[in-house]
Every structure is written in C-alpha cells, then in structure tokens.
Amino acid sequence: MHILYHNRKRNDAAEIVLGATYATRDELLAQSDYVVLTVPLTPETRGMIGRAEFAKMKLTATLVNVARGAVVDAAALAEALTARRIHAAALDVTDPEPLPRDHPLLRLDNLIITPHLGSATVETRRKMAEMSIVNLFAGLDGKPLPHRVAVS
C-alpha cells in the first residue's frame, strides 16, 4: 500500500520506516483512497474537513475519523455522502456525541459509526490504568502529575 501523509512538518523517520510519502493536504485529499484523520482537536483543526475538502476527494474515497468529531463538518459530511461525492465514511467520533436520533447522518447507508471505542483494547486500557496509578502516586507525594490531561 502506498502511504501518503500530511503534517505541519515532514517526518523523515516515518518516511524511512513506513515508506510513507509526504504530500500537501490538497494532494493527499485528491490522491487517497482512504483519508484517515488522527489529529487533536484545536482551533486550527476544528472543521478542517468540510465542503471544500470533500470536493477535492475522489468519488471512491472513504473518510475515516478516529480523531475528534468536530474535526469534520458534520453537515458537509452528510451532504457529501448523500450526494455520493465520496464513497463512504467511518466514524469513531461524532459532533455532537452521541448524535441525536434524528440526525441526517444516521439515515445513510454509506456510513459506519462506532461508539467511540478506539481505545477499547486490553493493552490500551491497561496502559491507561498504569498512567492513572503513576499520577495518583505523584499527586500523593506532592509532585507534578506526569500525565496531565489539562493545564489549568
């Protein structure tokens, strides 16, 4: 499989180890059969995939969002899928989450939505528990938490 990636900066190690090829965002959208989103939700990434991006994608492309729901404009996604502007989408996250029962996305036959289970592996859950314990002991010792979730 030929892997394209886009990031703010090139990742030479990924290119060597994975054989990945850096592409501009527009090149990636235009050439990819599968566009997989794995970005954090920031002001910069909120709504980063919308009407303009769907218009650049192949008619045969599938969008996979395992990032955060708000990275994708849900109305634009519903339009693209309904009009068959893209082939399909698979979402592990939505915005809002969960979607209201009458949301247009829930009526589509070319969309799969999973209940935000991307981290539901034994290995990941074990690591999450270990991180919680490390944080607990650091807090009890009056030390900074090594795995802070938010900065206050």
Catalytic residue of the set 85, 87, 103, 116:
116
Active site includes 116? yes
Determine the Cα–Cα distance for residues 102 and 58; give it in Å rounded to an integer. Answer: 28
State the pairing for strand pair 4-5/21-22. parallel
Catalytic residue of the set 51, 97, 126, 147:
97
Residue/partner pairs of 91-100 with CB below 8 Å, 24 or more apart: 91/64, 91/65, 92/65, 92/66, 92/116, 92/117, 92/118, 93/65, 93/66, 93/67, 93/68, 93/69, 93/118, 94/69, 95/68, 95/69, 95/70, 96/69, 97/69, 99/74
Question: Tokens representing 20?
Answer: 């990945």
What are the catalytic residues?
68, 97, 116
